[in-house]
Each structure stands twice: as structure tokens, then as C-alpha cells.
Structure 1
């Protein structure tokens, strides 16, 4: 239904992504009805109707009967052509998707499963990553926190912050966990006493990026440091950085 609405109803991804299944179904049924009810201006039914007005009542009645029969045949043929065209278009889209070597995460329009857990994996000193686990059992791996922001919305960031904070409520993070902990604390609990803010004068900003899906800014420095911030929070910047 989503594919049909995008390519036949000209709906955009942003118009569809926040709608529930029931809303998508109603839009789909409305588009189908509009197309099924459409009659071209040069169709036989219009021609026969105009011709019938110029004829006598006897010939008009006969013409209407013949027109009705022809309309039924034309409607069936037209519907079959439309169905065949639609099936062919969908087949092409499916062929394109199935032939793609990139992995595709299929997600319900009505439900996005919450993050329920996370794990840190260290295969070697240079090969470490985070594994994000969602409520439906699906997982995805990320090397650093900024990679997560491409997929996350605001709720994902909140869930991960809560889980990480609960785990280290009575223990101190170590190793690769300290990086994730530091990024999340900078976002939700910015403090002038943190080293990342105390040493701002040593940084040179080389890039700024906004992840609008989750409302997080990221400042990338020449030292390789990334500072993450919520768009609504005020952070303790020095004047030179501002």
C-alpha cells in the first residue's frame, strides 16, 4: 500500500512515515476509488451519451443499452490493464530491492520497537563495537555513538541514556563503555566542570551537523573529539567557540 501511495498517489516519505496502518489503508482505498471511478473524457460512454442526445427517444434507449454493455466490457478491459501495469511496476520495485547488496531494515509504520538492552563487544584492541537490542529481538551494531544518530529518533536516545545510566548507577564504566557514557552525559547533563568544556580553547571546530530525527547537534573538532548536544539545551561554550 505504501509503494502504491508513493508512486500512484504521489505521496512523499515524510507524509507517510508518521501515519498508522489504519490511516495508510484509508489513503490507499481512497486512491483506488478515485482511479477506479475515473472515466476519460474521450471514452466511449461520453461519445455515446452526446450522440444519444441528438437522436430520438427510441434510438436513445437502444444506444444507452448498447453503451451500457460496451461500458462494462471497456471497464473490465481498462481495469485489467491498470492491474497489469500496477503489478508490473511493483515487480520492478521488488526486483530492485531484492538485487540490492545493502542490508535493509524493514520497520512497521505503526510500531517502532523500543531499545531494551545494549552490549559492548571487544574483538580486539582495535575492533570494538556496540550492539543495540530492540524489543522485537532485532539487533544492530555501531562502532561509535554518532553512527547511531543516523538511525535513532528522540525516544531511542532517551531509552539508551536510561539503560546506560541504570547500569552504571553503582559502578564506573570502563574501557569502551566510557566513550558511550561520556557522549550521553554530555548530551543530557552538560556541566562546566567536565573536561570536555574546560579544554575548549584547545579545540578548532571543523564541522557541525544536526541530526533532526533525534534533535541532536554534533560538533567535530580537529582533535577528533565529537561534542554531542540536545538542540534545546544550553551548553557552557566559551566565546571563541560561539
Structure 2
């Protein structure tokens, strides 16, 4: 009798969750890891959510930063295999014609060469206090736009009760990490789900939406007329993995370092010539340069 009850209990525990529960779990993963907005997911079917979840998970599991140790090891292994005798033609040795090897050879540069595209500067607003707050890490629990006699500002509260006020998203990026960024994006999207964003909230909502939801195939008004863009700065925030393009007309385009956006080959060339502004030369900063150079060269091959 006890054995039967135990078996029944195990079966109950092993029973998979219902589709609604699975759907909610997958949506949570997509929003937190893939940066997708809830409003773009809530009306989709279980099958559609599952497809998006599998795509995001595959990308997250397989993503290897260009120039990272893992990427270098993979290239070495591929080249070693290329030197092995062909099984199809005995007595001959042939090079492995991998498109990845070709691409890697084209953009492979020494660190000294890549550093030519970096410019070390002091970021305004980056103080010892900011670093201290970031180290005392606690998840972001609340966001709001606050009115004051001096104007609007963004209030961000962490779970430990600490509150900071900011005027722009750039200021926030000084003390956030990538997980913070996903949490902030989710909170902002949920906050404006039933009310239209205005003022500073509209700017923050737009910047986060552009960064998180734009893809290489996006056809948005923002990305048109890039030949007319005048670059003021191109800046990298390492803790969040975000690089920002500031234009003369006041537009600021926030981009995740591993995500491709509909940038033209000509604009990326101008970005490289302008140089990426960093607080210090790091491998992550060099990887931003590698990524942009790779995207630019991919476009050049497509145009040939």
C-alpha cells in the first residue's frame, strides 16, 4: 500500500506542467533573456511562443563573442581539421573551405591594430559613488517618472530600497549591468502598457524599445537617411554591454553589442573612423570593434 502511494506521488511530481504554465515560463524567459516586450507576446499562441523561446534559447546557448577564448579555440580546431587528409581523396591534403575561416581571416587583426579604433575618455557622471552602488547589487524593483520644480527625472529603485534619480538613460547605464537592463526594460514596458508615454518617459521608452526590439531586418523610420547622419560620439558602456551612437540632431541610438541593427556599411565605416569612446582599453571594447568590422565586411560581400 505504501509502495503504491509512493509510486503515485512520484507520478504526480513527474507530471509535466499544463500548456498555460509552460507558456508563462517561456514568456518569462523570452522577456528576461531575449529582451522582448510583453505586449508583443501576450496575444501569441502557445506554438508561436514556443518557437520564439527555442530561437532565443538557441542563440543564448550558442552565442560566442567574436575574439573570445572560445571563438579562438573553435577556429584553431577547424584549421587543424582542414590539415587532415581527405577521406574522399586518399593521399591529398586540402584546406577546409569554411566561410567562417574566410571571414575570420579578413577581420583578424592584432590588438594593437584594433586599438587604433578606440579613444579613451572620461565619461561624465561616472563617479566613485556610482561604482559603489553597482557593487552593492540588488535587483531593480520599481521605475517611475517623477515631476519636480526642476523638471522630470527618472527614479529607479532597487529591492534593497536604494533609490537613484537620473535625467537620461546614459546616466543609468553607468551603474547597471545587463540583468538590470532587462529588468528596467520590462518595468518600463509594463508601466506604459495601458497609458501612452509622454515627455521623458517617451524618450526612455523609445530608447529601450529601439535597443531591445530592433533587428537587422527592421524597416523603421529611424534607420533611414543614414548618409545624412553626423556623428558626435560613439561610446561603449561595458557593464551593460551597450554602445551608443550620438548624432548631431540630438538622436541617441542605444545598441546591444551582440545584436545586429540595420546600419549601412558606409555608416559603420564612419563609426570606425570616428573611433569608439571607452573609459579604458579592454577585451570587451575590442570585441565591439571586431563585431562592427565583421558586420561591415558581411555587407560588403553581399554587395559584391
TM-score bracket for the superposition, by shorter chain length: 0.5 to 0.7
1:154-182 deviation line (CA, Å, top 9, x unaligned): 01111000111112223321222110001
Match of 2:151 in 1: 127
Q: For the aligned residues, what is the CA RMSD?
A: 2.2
Match of 2:254 in 1: 228
Match of 1:157 in 2: 181
Q: Aligned partners of 1:161 and 1:122: how far apart in 2?
A: 21
Q: Aligned partners of 1:209 and 1:188: how far apart in 2?
A: 18
Q: Aligned partners of 1:103 and 1:189: how far apart in 2?
A: 32
- 1:194 offset after TM fit, Å? 2.6
Match of 1:207 in 2: 233
Q: Secondary structure at the match of 1:218?
A: strand
- 1:108 offset after TM fit, Å? 8.9
Q: Aligned partners of 2:213 and 2:226: how far apart in 1?
A: 17
1:22-80 deviation line (CA, Å, top 9, x unaligned): xxxxxxxxxxxxxxxxxxxxxxxxxxxxxxxxxxxxxxxxxxxxxxxxxxxxxxxxxxx
Structure 2, unmatched stretches of 5+, are 1-126, 269-304
Match of 2:43 in 1: none
Q: How does 1:35-114 map to 2 (within 5 A)?
A: 104=129, 106-107=132-133, 112-114=137-139
Which stretch of the first structure deviates more once superposed, 156-165 or 203-212? 203-212
Q: Aligned partners of 1:108 and 1:222: how far apart in 2?
A: 31
Q: Secondary structure at the match of 2:153?
A: strand
Q: Is the aligned partner of 1:167 residue 2:191?
A: yes
Q: Return the structure number with greater relative CO, CA threshold 8 A, min gap 6.
A: 2
Q: 1:196 to 1:139 in 2, by over 3 A?
A: same
TM-score (norm 1): 0.52
When Rg is computed on C-alpha atoms for both structures, the one with the higher figure is: 1
Match of 2:160 in 1: 136
Moved over 6 A (4+): none
1:122-143 deviation line (CA, Å, top 9, x unaligned): 335x722101011011100110
Count of residues in correspondence between the two structures: 139
Structure 1, unmatched stretches of 5+, are 1-101
